[in-house]
Structure 1
């Protein structure tokens, strides 16, 4: 039986996130939504103080910290495990000082100057690949085999982090999805179908974040708020294929889907 994944519930403390920008910008709204996600089945709350869309306006580290500080204080006081979704070392350092459970970096921790701080802690690191690699104007996947391209990125980043003293077993791989793999939905579907090759090559856990992503919306014609069924289908496919962590806007739907899959497997064994 496939082990249950760790579920990250998404809380965007932003004004411009593609699916819910502005809805949870106040501390009260963010805290309330985080509690709802936990009640719906999230194991971890992934706090994002800036939009990850390549076209989003930049947000300073000071603003990110101001956005997350009261939310972190409240959720940690309630015993909720937190992941920080930020690529800015200053924000990451603040989150580490507060005791977050994960760091989630859409640029894959590119700054060697911050590696000594990362090596001092035991916090797991979600190392995400993206074709942008810090350059927002990139829109198309590179030529050749996309899994090979992603693997080369991970090889280089794992080597750099471990050489700096970060334990290899702390690293979680995220191949990126949607915009992070380019404008064509085909690339994201290929990676979703083949990410097991990355697990086999590196022997590390894989996080997938497909929730409401552009590649699902393009093939269904749905708006972000209407992409729940497509999201659930992709998430269940990812879990069946071995995803270890799932980052989602709707943990309740995912928990229900997992319960149905488990009941089906139990029924098959009884026969």
Structure 2
């Protein structure tokens, strides 16, 4: 658990499900990113298009315009910057600006995106599993008892396909998806959290983001802005399962939890 890195979310969007519009301006996005870094974030994850079921579609030019000045600012500071996008043109633009990681919720299903990544052979890539293959979550109740084999099969096939396109397997980090990406009912997300250990057999680092997700709200009866405690509990669970990265809106509490856990582990 001690090697888990914390990834702070900066949504440069008008309609993200929990903070849409708050950080849409360059100034607000930079201020939020600096806050997360000061609280202990190891990475910033910048996204300029919402993936929530009701989110607006954003073209590549708009996405790049939102992202570019923020990426440039944080690279000048020496921060580690991930960019959440599924568009090949956006990937190339932010990688040219020095972005350190690409986080693709569609798992590089666009062949053009895979071709872009061939030109940046040292950049790691997060591949996310989702029940639907579109770049949007869906509001649909889903079964869950066969979900772990489904995720394992998906990643096994994607890794084989991408390595055949010239992308080294060691570049890939796997995100099993959460919330509406798995189902509008809470059980799929809970099931994946309970069985995260089974995904280690894929041999790749795991990347988990439960932050403010719908399943937490359903269980606790809380809106997105009141899910901090539930989020933290799910994140500590993921820490204990040895995931490599946790992506979250609220770094401070999780950074403190990680620090204390490490102190308990290390005392002799």
Residues 46-55 or 165-174, more deviating = 46-55
State the partner residue of 1:227: 227
State the partner residue of 2:208: 208
**Residue 266 of structure 1, CA deviation:** 4.0
> Matched residues in 1 for 2:192 and 2:260: separation?
25
1:96-131 Cα shifts (integer Å, max 9, x gaps):
111111100111110123322212211000000111
> Matched residues in 2 for 1:86 and 1:114: separation?
10
Query: What SS is found at the alignment partner of 1:55?
Result: coil
1:62-115 Cα shifts (integer Å, max 9, x gaps):
110010111111111111111000111111111111111110011111012332
**Residue 239 of structure 1, CA deviation:** 0.7
**Residue 140 of structure 1, CA deviation:** 3.4
Moved over 4 A (4+): 135-138
State the partner residue of 2:105: 106
TM-score (norm: length of structure 2):
0.95
State the partner residue of 2:185: 184
Are the structure 2 counterparts of residues 95 and 11 from structure 1 closer, same or farther at C-alpha, using a change threshold of 3 Å? same
Query: What SS is found at the alignment partner of 2:45?
Result: strand
> Matched residues in 2 for 1:105 and 1:135: separation?
9
TM-score (norm: length of structure 1):
0.94
Q: What is the Cα-based RMSD across aligned positions, in Å?
A: 1.5
The total of aligned residue pairs comes to: 266
State the partner residue of 1:47: 46
Query: What SS is found at the alignment partner of 2:14?
Result: coil
State the partner residue of 1:141: 142
1:213-259 Cα shifts (integer Å, max 9, x gaps):
11011101111111111111100100101111000011110011112
1:118-169 Cα shifts (integer Å, max 9, x gaps):
1221100000011111175562336760011111111111111111111100
Residues 129-138 or 209-218, more deviating = 129-138
> Matched residues in 2 for 1:83 and 1:265: separation?
29
Residues 109-118 or 188-197, more deviating = 109-118
> Matched residues in 1 for 2:182 and 2:77: separation?
36
Structure-to-structure mapping, 1:1-271, within 5 angstroms: 2-121=1-120, 122-134=122-134, 136=136, 139-141=140-142, 145-200=146-201, 202-267=202-267, 270=268
Q: Can you give the 5+ residue segments of structure 1 that lack an aligned partner in the other structure? A: none
